[in-house]
Amino acid sequence: MTDMEYLALIAGMGLVTYLPRWIPIFFLARRKPPQILVEWLDLIPAAILSALLAPALFTSGAPRHFDITSPELLTALPTFLVAIMTRSLGGTVLAGMVFYWLIDKWV
Amino acid sequence: MAAGMKAAWPICLGYIPIGLALGVLAQKAGLTPLKIGLMSVFVFAGSAQFIAVSMLSSGIAAVSIILTTFVVNLRHLLMSSSLAVFFTGENRLKLTLFAYGITDESFAVNLARLREQSPDRPWDLNRSIALNQTANLVWIISTAAGGYGGQFIPEKAFGIDYALIAMFICLLIYQLRARIHIVTALITALFALILSLVLPGNGYIVPASVLGATVGLILKRRIGSEAA
């Protein structure tokens, strides 16, 4: 692949990445969307975060298989507790890292 | 500006090891640090870049790589839509700049900040842009640096690989504001688990989130306001 071909590739990748990020916010922010869409969008963040987390905690390997013995899941238990009790993002991140490090060492 | 940059630190902490790892892989695929950094400037999307690098090293055609990138990053449609509610009537140039930095991580942190904003914890579009650009800068530098010798960083150092998972755990807790959010999260987790076992990569995120949120909305409307 020549340098020009590489530039064309990343420009194409950039465009198809940017448009889905730009179109909704640019057009939906013009006026208030219908109530049912607002209610649906209110549930989307909880859904996305849960969708990002569940496979990271309950599966491992590639291709993935179900696994409830991973250090990621074990670490998640105290990390969830810290998040619920402190509601501190930085505190949870640091605590999660320490738990993961300890669990990786000793379990 | 400073507040936005400060709020980005948990994201940056998570981006550094991932960015370095991407840089190492990209270098093995024959990309120079400059080319790796340029890709991060143009694309700024971790998982899509990992996939692109592995496709590049197996000599797959550019059109296929671009199509795959599109599918992998479609989930940002949902995130951008959720954020739009907070920016009604905002300056469109700023929105255009902000949109460039919407990632899984910046979306979740900005959303939590926007929702919890108060006079002593203010948050707005300018701060959101500062947060996005800080995370973006750290990402670009980490990926390019990885191309110079990220392989010398020991794996699993200080549990840093868990930074983003821990961040998502806390951000999920922020989102569980009423019973309907907990129900939606549980339903979506189930969909995501099942779909992640049959779909490759992160292709499960969009269908699982859309299904989960839709079932959640149907339940909410059926049961009425008492459950919400």
pLDDT at B227 over 50: no
H helix intervals, chain B: 2-7, 9-28, 33-42, 46-57, 62-73, 75-84, 92-100, 104-115, 125-149, 163-175, 179-198, 205-223
Q: Tell me the shortest Cα–Cα distance from B216 to chain A, in angstroms.
A: 7
State residue A107's pLDDT score.
73
H helix intervals, B29-117: 33-42, 46-57, 62-73, 75-84, 92-100, 104-115
Residue B75 in contact with residue B213, Cβ under 8 Å? no
Interface predicted TM-score (ipTM) of this complex, two decimals: 0.89
Average pLDDT over residues B197-208: 87
pLDDT at B228 over 50: no
State residue B102's pLDDT score.
96
Which residue is associated with the tokens 């939590």? B112
Query: Within chain A, which residues score under 50 in pLDDT?
Result: none
Q: Which of B142, B92, B76, B86 lies closest to B115, judged by CA? A: B86
Positive or negative CA dihedral for A68, A69, A70, A76? Answer: positive
Q: Which strand (E) or helix (H) includes residue A44? A: helix A35-58
Q: What pTM does this model have?
A: 0.81
**Candidate ranges A25-34, B137-146, B219-228; pick with highest mean pLDDT:** B137-146
pLDDT at B158 over 60: yes
Pairing of strands A59-60, A65-66: antiparallel
State residue B155's pLDDT score.
62
pLDDT at B13 over 50: yes
Confidence of residue B59 (pLDDT cuts 50, 70, 90): confident
Confidence of residue B225 (pLDDT cuts 50, 70, 90): low
State residue A38's pLDDT score.
85
Residue B147 in contact with residue B33, Cβ under 8 Å? yes
State residue B148's pLDDT score.
87
Q: Tell me the shortest Cα–Cα distance from B135 to chain A, in angstroms.
A: 15
| pLDDT, tens only, B86-112 | 998 899 999 999 999 999 999 999 999
C-alpha A51/C-alpha B222 separation (Å) is 24
Confidence of residue B151 (pLDDT cuts 50, 70, 90): low
State residue B150's pLDDT score.
61
Average pLDDT over residues B78-87: 93
Which of B15, B160, B188 to mutate against chain A (most A CBs within 10 Å)? B188
Residues facing B121 on adjacent strands:
B118
**Amino acid at position B130, single letter:** A
Q: Which of B80, B86, B115 lies closest to B206, judged by CA? A: B80
Q: What is the mean pLDDT of chain B?
A: 89
**Amino acid at position A3, single letter:** D
Which residue is associated with the tokens 């930095």? B101
Interface of A with B in 2-61 (CB under 8 A): 5-14, 16-18, 20-26, 28-33, 36, 38-41, 43-59
First-to-final CA distance of chain B: 36
